[in-house]
C-alpha cells in the first residue's frame, strides 16, 4: 500500500468473470494459513456491510445505471472498504487476499463502459488515499471461454456478466494493458491452465514478496 504505514501484505486478484479468482483466492488462503499467517479474505464490491448494500445495487439492480453513477458507486464502496477492512488488517500484519480492486473499475467502467480510464483510476486513488496492493494476480481468459464456464455454472448472470462479448473483450484488453504498464505489481497467468498449476505459480510469487518484505 503506497499510503500509510503497514506491515502486512496485500494481494488482489483480477480478471474477467469466470477466470477462477475465487478458486485461487481460496487456495492461497489455505496455503498462507498453513504457513501460520493471519489472512483476511475479502472482495469488492461487498467486503463490508456498507459494501454489501452497494454490491446489490451495482450487480443486481433491475434497470440501467448511468456509467458515471456506476463508477462512483464502486469508488464509494472502495473508500469505505479500504478504510475499515484493508488498512486495519495490514496494520496488524495480516495478509489481505482481495477479489477485485481499482483495476476492475478501470477495466469494467473505463473500457467496458467507455469512460475515461485515467479519470476512473484517479477517482479510486482519491477515494482510497492512493492505496495500491503489493501484488496483483491477473487471471487472463478469453471471453468466449469465460462465458462457457459461466454457462456451465448454471446460475443467473449479474449485470456485468450479462454484457455482450464486445464489452468483455474491451475489459480483457484493458486488464492486459494495465499489467503491461505496471509489470512489477502484476503477475499475469493463463487461466486456461489447471487450478493446481496456477496456485503453485501464485504461491511462488507471494512467497517471494513475503521474503522481500522480511528482508527490508
Annotated binding site: 15-22
DSSP string of 27-62? HHHHHHHHTT--EEEEESS-SSHHHHHHHHHHHH-S
Phi/psi at 188 (5° precision): -100, 125
Residues annotated within a binding site for ATP: 15-22
Q: Which three cell numbers stand for residue 136?
A: 496483483
Segment 186-192 long-range contacts (CB within 8 Å, at least 24 positions apart): 186/136, 186/137, 186/138, 187/135, 187/136, 187/137, 187/138, 188/138, 188/140, 189/137, 189/138, 189/139, 189/140, 190/140, 191/15, 191/19, 191/20, 191/139, 191/140, 191/141, 192/141, 192/142, 192/145
Phi/psi at 140 (5° precision): -90, 125
Amino acid at each position: 500500500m503506497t499510503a500509510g504505514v503497514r506491515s502486512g501484505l496485500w494481494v488482489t486478484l483480477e480478471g474477467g468473470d469466470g477466470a477462477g479468482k475465487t478458486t485461487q483466492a481460496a487456495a492461497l488462503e489455505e496455503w498462507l494459513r498453513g504457513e501460520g499467517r493471519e489472512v483476511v479474505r475479502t472482495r469488492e464490491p461487498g467486503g463490508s456491510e456498507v459494501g454489501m448494500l452497494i454490491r446489490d445495487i451495482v450487480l443486481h439492480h433491475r434497470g440501467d445505471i448511468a456509467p458515471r453513477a456506476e463508477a462512483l458507486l464502486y469508488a464509494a464502496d472502495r473508500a469505505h472498504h479500504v478504510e475499515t477492512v484493508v488498512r486495519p488488517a495490514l496494520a496488524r500484519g495480516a495478509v489481505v487476499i482481495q477479489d477485485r480492486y481499482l483495476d476492475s473499475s478501470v477495466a469494467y467502467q473505463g473500457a467496458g463502459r467507455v469512460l475515461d480510464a485515467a479519470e476512473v483510476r484517479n477517482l479510486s486513488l482519491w477515494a482510497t488515499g492512493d492505496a495500491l496492493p503489493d501484488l496483483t494476480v491477473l487471471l487472463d481468459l478469453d471471453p468466449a471461454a469465460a462465458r462457457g464456464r459461466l454457462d456451465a455454472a448454471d446460475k443467473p448472470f449479474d449485470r456485468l456478466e450479462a454484457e455482450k462479448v464486445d464489452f468483455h473483450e474491451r475489459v480483457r484488453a484493458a486488464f492486459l494493458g494495465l499489467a503491461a504498464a505496471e509489470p512489477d505489481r502484476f503477475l499475469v497467468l493463463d487461466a486456461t491452465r489447471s487450478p493446481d498449476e496456477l496456485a503453485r505459480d501464485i504461491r511462488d510469487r507471494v512467497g517471494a514478496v513475503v521474503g522481500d518484505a522480511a528482508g527490508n
